[in-house]
Structure 1
Amino acid sequence: MNISQLKNSITTIVNSDASKSQKLQAICDFLKNEISYYDWVGFYFKNGDKNELKLAEFAGEPTEHTIIPFGKGICGQVAVSNQNFVVPDVSAQDNYISCGWKVKSEIVIPIFVNGNNVGQIDIDSHTVNPFSKNDEELLEFVCLKVADIY
């Protein structure tokens, strides 16, 4: 994983003339295509004034989890904790929402705008324990860039 090249590509996407939705979709598509163990990449954002997340752009198999209550599953827990959550093996998690039998691990990084958690990027992998500090660094960078266009 060449983090510098990946960050440069993300910056290029964010700085393009595309709409916010097109940029978010391009980020999802790019990450899924560039990183072999990113099998599903999506953004969830706070759903108005409700204590729930709503699925926005994503790349990968469709999911029935388009609305996630705060506190439920990995994404819902990140909405409450405001902390990165790396799950090496989803089968070891009590509070996990299964998006499919192929998913073995997950990483969720929150997006902050003016100190408020407005959403997150969610990555599912069909590989057990593939995520490293490099993934966290890259995805934290992605979230900073997404905050600029939110």
Structure 2
Amino acid sequence: MALEKLKPLINSIISDQERSVDERLLAVCEVLESHVDYYNWVGFYFKNGDKNELKLGPYVGAPTDHTIIPFGKGICGQVAVSNKNFVVPDVSAQDNYIACSITVKSEIVIPIFVNGKNIGQIDIDSNTIDPFTEKDERFLEFVCARVASIL
């Protein structure tokens, strides 16, 4: 499905005040994973209190042992420090990569900003080499901005 066509659905989920924040975040993960065929694991990581680490939030996909990620470690930890999008076309070419599954071939991580501060990120793994384009980045920036509005 075209990413642009998912925007109204994302808006609808975020606006649903009958659900808790975590329920809405999980629903966003479910929509992305089920509607974009190369999004094989979709989850949120958030800064863990005052610690320099990320804590896994709602996600959809294979279970992961990586529920806590130190800042600077792996792709997610690097985004926590750089405050910039990180697209990895081929995870096997990355030195500082934390393998969640042997099936993962590529990853995209987009930070979430609240009041100009990086408080978390959306992390998407794909079992396809190099599927992410600038359209994915722009769409996921939109998703992160909408998510930020409820945090």
Per the normalisation by structure 1, the TM-score is: 0.98
Deviation at 1:99, TM superposition (A): 0.3
Q: Aligned AA for 2:36?
A: I
SS of corresponding position for 2:44: strand
CA distances 1:82-135 after superposition (whole Å, capped 9, x unpaired): 000000000000000000100000000000000000000000000000000110
Tell me, yes or no, if structure 1 residue 63 matches structure 2 residue 64.
yes
Which runs of structure 2 are paired with 1:1-150 in the superposition (5 Å)?
1-16=1-16, 17-150=18-151
Q: Distance in 2 between matches of 1:4 and 1:113?
A: 23
CA distances 1:18-53 after superposition (whole Å, capped 9, x unpaired): 110100000000000000000000000000000000
Q: Which stretches of structure 1, 4 residues or longer, exceed 2 Å deviation after superposition? A: 1-4
Alignment coverage as a number of residue pairs: 150
Q: Percent same amino acid at aligned positions?
A: 65
Alignment root-mean-square deviation, CA: 0.7
Structure 1: unaligned runs, 5 residues or longer: none
Deviation at 1:2, TM superposition (A): 2.2
Q: Distance in 1 between matches of 2:89 and 2:21?
A: 31
CA distances 1:4-29 after superposition (whole Å, capped 9, x unpaired): 32111100000012110100000000
Deviation at 1:3, TM superposition (A): 3.0
Per the normalisation by structure 2, the TM-score is: 0.98
